[in-house]
Structure 1
Amino acid sequence: MPSRLDVVIAGGGRVGFQTAELLVGRDHDVTVVERDGDTCEAIADAYVATVVEGDATNPDILEQAGIGSADVVAALTGETGLNLAVCLAARELSPGIRTVARIDRAAGEAYTRFVDAVLFPERAGARVAANEILGSDVRTLADVTGTLDIMQIRIADGAPAAGKRLADVRFPTGTLVVSDDDGERIAGPDTTLTPGRRYVVAVEPDVADEVLNLLRG
């Protein structure tokens, strides 16, 4: 995927809105599709993202949102069926697009046959959604660890911590780098955070964004 993504988010509620904020903060282009006029107005007033009012299952609305040139569609409404329909419609209009759907836990992983990634609503905070939208550079195990995020993070070139030893990086309290870059040893003070390599990191929710900034920039 390109470093700067064009993302369409279906659903401008809490998860959709906060996910859009995070993605825009990471310099990605975001369009939010939302049915409720008042919610659309609130998003527009916050200058967070481009807003399209309408039903995201409607192909005309998706095309208005720029689905043909988008890299990812993330259906983040509170309705599982609607989210699946949005992803299927988006893939029909743009076959190569990455699809992310927020689903009901009862559906389990069954929907992975139809979409690229699924999110459970009780775990689908904005950071988890943003990680899934951005693909493989940050992978989270939030579904099995409560509020604690266990992430596999690829160190970005030019990130503040890139190329430094753990002992020389001032991580916030609530952070633990678990593995070295080959995943076979526990990380220690002399472990170097090599750009392009992946590390397993445990973070508490309040410091997750700070940690991602250190490792991803």
Structure 2
Amino acid sequence: MYVIVIGGGNVGYYLTKDLVAAGHEVLLLEKDRARAQRLAEDLGEVVQQGDGCEARIMAEMGFARADVIVAATGEDEDNLIVCQMAKQRFGITRTISRVNSPANEALFAQLGIDTTVSATRLIFNLIEQEIEVDHLIPVAALARGHLEIVSIELSEQSPVVGRAIGEISLPGEAHIIAILRGDKGLLPSPNAILQTGDTVLTLVQQDQEPALHGVFSA
């Protein structure tokens, strides 16, 4: 699988490392020249310097043959542009975008972005449900165990829509820990049927995250 990751921040860096370790062909595209050089010293030739929002750069970097485009910059506007151009200009069928502002998630879905990941929305929903701080798993503890909480919003094209949670085979020891549906949080019983627009929260080993996205994305 050929995966192009846009944005060499922490998200893009660690995702690229995991994808390479899993045996995928990966390109990490970083706009800032100095940072791209530092990343290349660590990751090697998979890192290229360039603006992932420019059509010329996209063409030069082989967007047309990519299987997945991941927009992981810190700017929602850039992530949206990358995913839209990947779909409309290069015919990419699978796009995944980081969304920094939960207010933009609906817009991304309306414009056809297949999967969005929003840590901000996760934290907001935990607060809204008045979960006590003492009951939350510290992020640092998760990192030490190489675990991540991953949020995936289900589009109409997701292969798991209409299926019961108990029927879904997850990679490794991944677990569905909650379903966000509208303004409600639901516990993931085996008989719960997933719906378009659901946000599925999962706990997964870091090296299994790419495989996890493959289960939920068309």
TM-score interval for Structure 1 and Structure 2 normalised by the shorter chain: 0.5 to 0.7
Please report the TM-score for the alignment, with normalisation by the length of structure 2.
Answer: 0.58
AA in 2 matched with 1:113: Q
- TM superposition shift of 1:93: 2.6
Taking a change above 3 Å as real, the CA distance of residues 31 and 65 of structure 1, as seen in their structure-2 partners, is: same
Could you report, residue by residue, the CA deviation over 1:170-195 in whole angstroms, capped at 9, with x for unpaired residues? Answer: x7xxx8799xxx9349xxxxxxxxxx
Residue matched to 1:75: 71
Residue matched to 1:113: 110
Taking a change above 3 Å as real, the CA distance of residues 131 and 107 of structure 1, as seen in their structure-2 partners, is: closer
Could you report, residue by residue, the CA deviation over 1:55-94 in whole angstroms, capped at 9, with x for unpaired residues? Answer: 1110111112210100011111010011100111111232
Contact kept in structure 1, 2:69 and 2:83, CA below 8 Å: yes
Please report the TM-score for the alignment, with normalisation by the length of structure 1.
Answer: 0.59
Taking a change above 3 Å as real, the CA distance of residues 75 and 49 of structure 1, as seen in their structure-2 partners, is: farther
Structure 2 residues without counterparts, runs of 5 or longer: 124-142, 178-188, 193-199
- Give the secondary-structure state (helix, strand or coil) at the position aligned to 1:31: strand
C-alpha distance in structure 1 between counterparts of 2:152 and 2:35, whole Å: 24
Residue matched to 1:168: none
- Give the secondary-structure state (helix, strand or coil) at the position aligned to 2:14: helix
Could you report, residue by residue, the CA deviation over 1:16-49 in whole angstroms, capped at 9, with x for unpaired residues? Answer: 1111111111111110111111211122111266
Taking a change above 3 Å as real, the CA distance of residues 177 and 12 of structure 1, as seen in their structure-2 partners, is: closer
- Give the secondary-structure state (helix, strand or coil) at the position aligned to 2:23: coil
- Give the secondary-structure state (helix, strand or coil) at the position aligned to 1:85: helix
Question: Aligned pairs, how many?
Answer: 163
Structure 1 or 2: more helix by fraction: 2
AA in 1 matched with 2:33: G
Paired-residue identity, %: 26
Residue matched to 2:130: none
Taking a change above 3 Å as real, the CA distance of residues 116 and 49 of structure 1, as seen in their structure-2 partners, is: farther
- TM superposition shift of 1:8: 0.7
Residue matched to 1:183: 190
- Computing the radius of gyration over CA atoms, which structure comes out larger, 1 or 2? 1
Structure 1 residues without counterparts, runs of 5 or longer: 140-149, 160-170, 186-199
Residue matched to 2:126: none
Once superposed, what is the RMSD of the aligned Cα atoms? 4.3
Could you report, residue by residue, the CA deviation over 1:79-122 in whole angstroms, capped at 9, with x for unpaired residues? Answer: 00111001111112321431111122122333112211111144
C-alpha distance in structure 1 between counterparts of 2:31 and 2:72, whole Å: 13
